[in-house]
Amino acid sequence: IRWKKCDIKSVALLPNVLSYQSALEVGFSEFVFIRDGFFTECSHSNIFFVAADTIYTHPESDYILSGITRKNVIRIAQNTGIKVIEEPMHESRTKEITEIFITNTSWEITPVVRLGKSLIGDGKPGPLTRILREKFRAEICMMRGNKGKNI
């Protein structure tokens, strides 16, 4: 139900709101959009997949609303030496996925341990997700002048 210019943030986010509400009603905290078999984005988050120690995320295009947190996570991952490939992940590759995380301004980097009925990895946040969360938080603390203190 998402329209074809997803990169434009406008009042036309009603499909996102309705999809998010549908997810909440059945016990999930986010809704993942799939277009032509490819994961694109979530109702209010960008989505990242880890397979073979490489992070995959849908490239910026008309099919996603790219976020500033997404851009910073990609930068931090690359600066850390983690390989990032911006290409769509097909739903047929879910068996290869060892980690999933989502990003948005409110939740920052949030691990996903279940996709529908499927457990991801061992059901706990994966190592790349944990590394990125730690580096992201450290960067925010330094920018705020907290020098690594909890906020």
112, with CB counted inside 10 A (0-12, 13-18, 19+), is buried
Share of the chain above pLDDT 70, in %: 88
pLDDT for the residue numbered 119:
94
Rounded-to-integer distance, Cα 146 and Cα 139, Å: 10
Report, as an integer, the average pLDDT of 46-75.
Answer: 96
Mean pLDDT across 10-22: 78
Q: Give dist(CA 140, CA 144) in Å, integer.
A: 6
Give me the mean pLDDT over the 63-86 stretch: 96
Residue of higher predicted confidence among 8 and 115: 115
What's the CA gap between 59 and 71, in Å, rounded? 11
Q: Which position among 5, 9, 83, 124 bears the catalytic label?
A: 9
Strands 46-51 and 114-115: unpaired
Residue 9 annotated to the active site = yes
- φ, ψ for residue 26, nearest 5 deg: -110, 15
In angstroms, the CA 49 to CA 25 distance is 25
Residue 110 structure tokens: 């949030």
pLDDT above 90: residue 120: yes
Q: Which two tokens stand for residue 124?
A: 């706990």
Q: Which residue has the higher pLDDT, 51 or 5?
A: 51
pTM of the model: 0.86
CA distance 56 to 87: 6
